[in-house]
Chains A and B, each alone.
Chain A
């Protein structure tokens, strides 16, 4: 596959290295000549110096024949434009953007960027997971359909403690798929599985049912996500 990566920072560099190992053809577009030289020294002549948002640069990079464009710069507006130009001017079949401000995920999705990775969101989520009390963590947004996988930790005072899964009034578009007990044992629940305090419940839910799901499982009003 021919893959163009815009932005030669740390993520761009390590991604390119991995892709090369996997036998893909890779080109990194990087504005900073020094950074570009450094990458070229380590990974070979796979770097082009230029502004990846310029259509002329994209043309030279061969955007027209690429299978995938990945925008990884530290600026969301640049990543958005790289993907939009790739998609609409060069008909690139698959565009992926890094998002630095988690709030921007919505506009990227609305504008048809195929996949978004919120680096800040992912790191926050991972750290939150390690905190002793976390109400609900978005684990992953599923492609298309507005679904996501979340993890909810059951607080000791929740209404659902000691009750079977089938008795919980879940929002319509939510499903409990996995329960990890406080002993770390994971199990696929049946309707009769009893919920315990400290359980980590993994559920699939529509994005807009997220707050209702949290309320159903923790019995507490839903706080703001970010």
Chain B
């Protein structure tokens, strides 16, 4: 699968590395060349400096031939604009975008974008962890378990 990933921060680079190691053809796009240092040395994909919410940059990244586009930057607005360009202008068949604000996430999902909300997922995981801890028997809350929990957070 030919995938373009917009944003090479922690999340974008982790996704890029995963897909690359599984044999997909990955191109990462970031406005800051320094961001590519998040990628592992073994990364065999393409790195392109450019703004994903810009038609020309998307073309340079090969969007005309892409099977999938994922926007992963911190900026919700940049993410949805780029995703909508990929979907509506370049007709990429699989488009997924991160949206941190749950309200905007819901709205864009209802407009037909495939969205992922880190806020919701994290809140959900935190709640699960909290409730699991609450229902666990008393002794497991003390000592090394509690320390471990602190390190993970």
Contact = CB atoms under 8 A, between A and B. Distances in A.
B28 to A, nearest CB: 19
Interface residues of B, number: 21
A55 B78 contact: no
A77 B54 contact: no
A56 B103 CA distance: 9
A110 B54 CA distance: 15
Given A54-B101, A76-B53, A81 B89 contact: no
A202 interface: no
Interface in B65-90: 75-78, 80-81, 84-85, 88-89
A110 B78 CA distance: 17
A106 B54 CA distance: 12
Given A54-B101, A77-B53, A81-B77, A107 B107 contact: no
A107 B103 contact: no
A81 B76 contact: yes
A190 interface: no
Given A55-B103, A85-B104, A106 B89 contact: yes
Contacts of B54: 101, 103
Contacts of A77: 53, 75, 77-78, 80-81
A104 B82 CA distance: 11
Given A76-B53, A106-B89, A110-B89, A89 B81 contact: no
A167 to B, nearest CB: 39
Interface in A58-107: 75-78, 80-81, 84-85, 88-89, 101, 103-104, 106-107
Nearest to B103: A55
B101 A55 contact: yes
Q: How large is the interface on A (under 10, 10 to 19, 20 to 34, 35 or more residues)?
A: 20 to 34
Given A107-B89, A110-B89, A81 B111 contact: no
Given A81-B76, A88-B110, A76 B101 contact: no
Interface string B94-136: 0000000101100110110000000000000000000000000
Contacts of A123: none
B56 interface: yes
Nearest to A81: B77
A156 B104 CA distance: 55
A188 interface: no
Contacts of A56: 103
A81 B81 contact: yes
Nearest to B54: A101
Contacts of A53: 76-77, 104
Nearest to A58: B103
Contacts of B88: 107, 110-111
A101 B81 CA distance: 13
Contacts of B84: 80, 107, 111
Contacts of A89: 103, 107
Nearest to B55: A103
Interface of A: 53-56, 75-78, 80-81, 84-85, 88-89, 101, 103-104, 106-107, 110-111
Given A80-B84, A103-B56, A110-B88, 16 more contacts: A53-B76, A53-B104, A54-B101, A55-B101, A55-B103, A55-B107, A77-B75, A77-B80, A80-B81, A81-B104, A84-B107, A88-B107, A106-B89, A107-B81, A107-B85, A110-B89
